[in-house]
């Protein structure tokens, strides 16, 4: 509301300035009116003070609203992303999702601040200035409005190009993020194989595509806006000719002419900004489509309603067949086995034989296409997925760690760290063998993906995390 009031103040102040030019010119310069000479400077100061206050209210309030929109939208989007099914992450590189979360949401912020601010404020300003121009000479104002159909045609043509190029720029930003992320995360492999030129080439392709799409967008903006200004300038020239030649005699005084011309010149700014606002709007619309494509995706199913105090641990696979999406071969085919509670069982087999797939099915990351998986005699689909996972300690082949301390990774997701349990699992996993030599012991920061630890130490942390969960 304050932002809207500020916009009205700014538009009103600029219109008042154009209107004040008439008495200043006629009364101050032509007639040398003492009262006008005395009061004109003060009136100008008041007008610019009102404009300054309105501009502050307008800019600050709309910026505040837009940042809150971004804050809420990013929080909502992140929460939705981490709850999407595993299949979605199998088909979409994580770097593209990061680009959507960072870049696309920021483009919506631009549309919800700059674009809306320009559209509302400059529309009010245009209405105010055109009203004053019509008051001075409705005939000349009709001449000025002849450019409106031309402007509409230009904007319609530019509209389509802005949308297409904005979508292409968003995709290219995703691939830039993807190329950079892979190179940074695999920097040791890059160094070991001396593949700097290879990685530079991959990044160069994504970067070049982004540049090309951005230049296409800049070309459309650079052509459309000057065209509008050119046609408006031609109209101004016609108006000046009609005024000076006496064809239209409504502008009878120098002050009226100066005020009218001043209104036209003040109108050029908002017309130019309104011509460019379409660029921001189309970019925001394209970004919104990308963001809401994620928000509209269904989250991971919650499973059934079955819970218990604790799962005993009887596991049985009955003729289970499972195939990943977008693959031709089955990861598991007619697999049957039984593991009784208390037993320690190792699944041994060649790479790609389905060991990881079995663990993924037990955790509910995927659903088998055929067969049954029973937990304590009940179908796995009957269990609530969050309850089922709370009963399982999970350690993947790849040591996945988070930027933080040793203890925060071991007690990951725990609302409060149980120091007794923490000490037990640290000892059991032999983390204490190296943590005691660190300056901050268990509070030592391990860096992104545990980069400050050796491969074996990182694996011990993931084992300790699974033990702490159990």
Q: 138-181: per-residue pLDDT in tens?
A: 777 777 676 666 666 666 666 666 667 777 777 777 777 777 77
Structure tokens at 273: 């900004």
More confident residue, 239 or 363: 363
Q: C-alpha 140: how far from its chain's center? A: 46
Q: What is the mean pLDDT of the chain?
A: 77
In the three-class reduction of DSSP (H, G, I as helix; E, B as strand; rest coil), residue 314 is classed as: coil
What integer is the mean pLDDT of 84-92? 81
Residue 91 belongs to some domain of the structure: yes
Task: Give tens-digit pLDDT for 366-386.
Answer: 888 888 888 888 888 888 888
Confidence bin at 45 (pLDDT 50/70/90): confident
Do 22 and 148 lie in a common domain?
Answer: yes
What integer is the mean pLDDT of 204-210? 81
CATH (domain of 365) = 3.40.50.300
What integer is the mean pLDDT of 179-197? 65
Say which residues have a Cβ less than 8 Å from residue 461's Cβ, sequence separation at least 6. 399, 401, 406, 409, 410, 429, 431, 446, 450, 453
What integer is the mean pLDDT of 28-56? 75
Do 266 and 376 lie in a common domain?
Answer: no
CA angle 328, 334, 338 (to 5 degrees): 135
Q: How high is the pLDDT of residue 337?
A: 84
Are 123 and 277 in contact by the 8 Å Cβ rule? The answer is no
Are 412 and 394 in contact by the 8 Å Cβ rule? The answer is no
More confident residue, 223 or 334: 334
Say which residues have a Cβ less than 8 Å from residue 47's Cβ, sequence separation at least 6. 13, 16, 17, 20
Q: How high is the pLDDT of residue 338?
A: 87
Q: Domain limits at 91?
A: 2-295
Q: How high is the pLDDT of residue 321?
A: 87
Q: How high is the pLDDT of residue 153?
A: 66
Q: How high is the pLDDT of residue 116?
A: 76
Q: C-alpha 112: how far from its chain's center? A: 12
Confidence bin at 191 (pLDDT 50/70/90): low
Structure tokens at 252: 């009878």
Task: Give tens-digit pLDDT for 345-358.
Answer: 888 877 777 888 88
Are 431 and 392 in contact by the 8 Å Cβ rule? The answer is no
Are 24 and 31 in contact by the 8 Å Cβ rule? The answer is no
Residues 410 and 460: their CA atoms lie apart, in Å, by 10
CA angle 186, 190, 192 (to 5 degrees): 115
Of 240, 260, 295, the one marking the end of a domain is 295
**Least confident span in 38-47, 123-132, 226-235, 325-334:** 226-235
Are 321 and 370 in contact by the 8 Å Cβ rule? The answer is yes
Residues 393 and 458: their CA atoms lie apart, in Å, by 16
Structure tokens at 424: 């037990």
Q: How high is the pLDDT of residue 31?
A: 67
Residue 401 belongs to some domain of the structure: no
Side by side, which strands form the sheet with 332-339?
332-339, 315-322, 370-375, 378-379
Residue 398 belongs to some domain of the structure: no
**Residue 141 CB burial class (10 angstroms; 0-12, 13-18, ≥19):** buried
Of 264, 295, 326, the one marking the end of a domain is 295
In the three-class reduction of DSSP (H, G, I as helix; E, B as strand; rest coil), residue 319 is classed as: strand
Counted domains in the chain: 3
The β-bridge relationship of strands 378-379 and 332-339 is: unpaired
Task: Give tens-digit pLDDT for 276-292.
Answer: 777 777 777 778 888 88
Percentage of the residues of the chain whose pLDDT score is greater than 90: 0
More confident residue, 222 or 371: 371
CATH (domain of 44) = 1.20.1560.10
Do 231 and 375 lie in a common domain?
Answer: no
Residue 102 pLDDT greater than 70, yes or no: yes
DSSP-derived secondary structure letter, 398: S
Residue 214 belongs to some domain of the structure: yes
Do 178 and 247 lie in a common domain?
Answer: yes
Task: Give tens-digit pLDDT for 421-451.
Answer: 878 877 887 877 777 887 878 788 877 777 7
Do 206 and 342 lie in a common domain?
Answer: no
Do 386 and 410 lie in a common domain?
Answer: no
Q: How high is the pLDDT of residue 193?
A: 59
Residue 285 belongs to some domain of the structure: yes
Residues 362 and 50: their CA atoms lie apart, in Å, by 67
Cα dihedral sign, 8-9-11-15: positive
Do 260 and 194 lie in a common domain?
Answer: yes
Residue 228 pLDDT greater than 80, yes or no: no
Residue 250 pLDDT greater than 60, yes or no: no
Do 256 and 223 lie in a common domain?
Answer: yes
Alpha carbon distance, N-terminus to C-terminus of the chain? 54
Structure tokens at 284: 């925001």
Of 295, 328, 346, the one marking the end of a domain is 295
**Which helix or strand (DSSP H or E) is residue 316 part of?**
strand 315-322
Residue 301 belongs to some domain of the structure: no
Do 84 and 162 lie in a common domain?
Answer: yes
Do 268 and 364 lie in a common domain?
Answer: no
**Residue 387 CB burial class (10 angstroms; 0-12, 13-18, ≥19):** middle
Structure tokens at 293: 């494509």
Residue 126 belongs to some domain of the structure: yes
Residue 397 belongs to some domain of the structure: no
Do 197 and 343 lie in a common domain?
Answer: no
Residue 365 pLDDT greater than 60, yes or no: yes
In this structure, the chain runs to a length of 470
Are 322 and 331 in contact by the 8 Å Cβ rule? The answer is yes
In the three-class reduction of DSSP (H, G, I as helix; E, B as strand; rest coil), residue 335 is classed as: strand
Do 213 and 114 lie in a common domain?
Answer: yes
């Amino acid at each position: 509301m304050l932002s809207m009031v500020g916009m009205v103040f700014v538009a009103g102040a600029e219109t008042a300035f154009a209107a004040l030019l008439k008495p200043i010119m006629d009364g101050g310069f032509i007639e040398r009116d003492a009262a006008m000479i005395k009061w004109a400077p003060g009136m100008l100061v008041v007008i610019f003070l009102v404009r300054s206050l309105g501009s502050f209210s307008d800019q600050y309030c709309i910026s505040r609203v837009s940042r809150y929109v971004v804050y809420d939208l990013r929080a909502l989007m992140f929460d939705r992303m981490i709850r999407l099914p595993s299949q979605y992450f199998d088909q979409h590189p994580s770097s593209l999702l990061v680009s959507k979360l960072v870049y696309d949401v920021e483009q919506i912020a631009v549309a919800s601040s700059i674009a809306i601010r320009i559209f509302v404020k400059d529309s009010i300003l245009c209405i105010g200035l055109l009203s004053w121009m019509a008051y001075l000479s409705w005939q000349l104002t009709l001449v000025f409005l002849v450019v409106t159909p031309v402007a509409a045609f230009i904007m319609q043509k530019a509209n389509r190009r802005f949308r297409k190029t904005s979508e292409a720029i968003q995709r290219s930003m995703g691939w830039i993020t993807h190329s950079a992320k892979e190179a940074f995360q695999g920097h040791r492999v890059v160094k070991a194989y001396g593949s700097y030129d290879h990685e530079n080439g991959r990044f160069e392709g994504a970067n070049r595509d982004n540049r090309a799409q951005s230049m296409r967008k800049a070309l459309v903006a650079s052509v459309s806006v000057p065209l509008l200004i050119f046609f408006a300038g031609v109209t101004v020239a016609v108006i000046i000719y009609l005024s000076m030649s006496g064809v239209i005699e409504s502008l009878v005084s120098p002050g009226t002419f100066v005020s009218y011309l001043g209104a036209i010149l003040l109108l050029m700014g908002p017309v130019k900004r309104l011509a460019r606002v379409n660029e921001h709007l189309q970019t925001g619309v394209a970004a919104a489509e990308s963001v809401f494509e994620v928000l509209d995706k269904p989250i991971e199913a919650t499973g059934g309603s079955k819970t218990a105090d604790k799962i005993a641990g009887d596991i049985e696979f009955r003729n289970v067949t499972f195939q990943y999406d977008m693959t031709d071969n089955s990861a598991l085919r007619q697999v049957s086995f039984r593991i009784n509670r208390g037993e320690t069982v190792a699944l041994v087999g060649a790479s790609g034989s389905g060991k990881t797939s079995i663990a993924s099915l037990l955790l509910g990351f995927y659903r088998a296409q055929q067969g049954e998986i029973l937990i304590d005699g009940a179908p796995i689909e009957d269990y609530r997925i969050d309850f089922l996972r709370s009963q399982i300690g999970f350690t993947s082949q790849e040591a996945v760690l988070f930027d933080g301390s040793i203890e925060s990774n071991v007690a990951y997701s725990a609302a409060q760290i149980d120091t007794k349990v923490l000490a037990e699992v640290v000892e059991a996993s032999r983390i204490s063998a190296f943590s005691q030599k660190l300056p901050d012991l268990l509070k030592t920061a391990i860096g992104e993906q545990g980069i400050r630890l050796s491969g074996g130490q990182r694996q011990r942390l993931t084992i300790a995390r699974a033990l702490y969960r159990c």
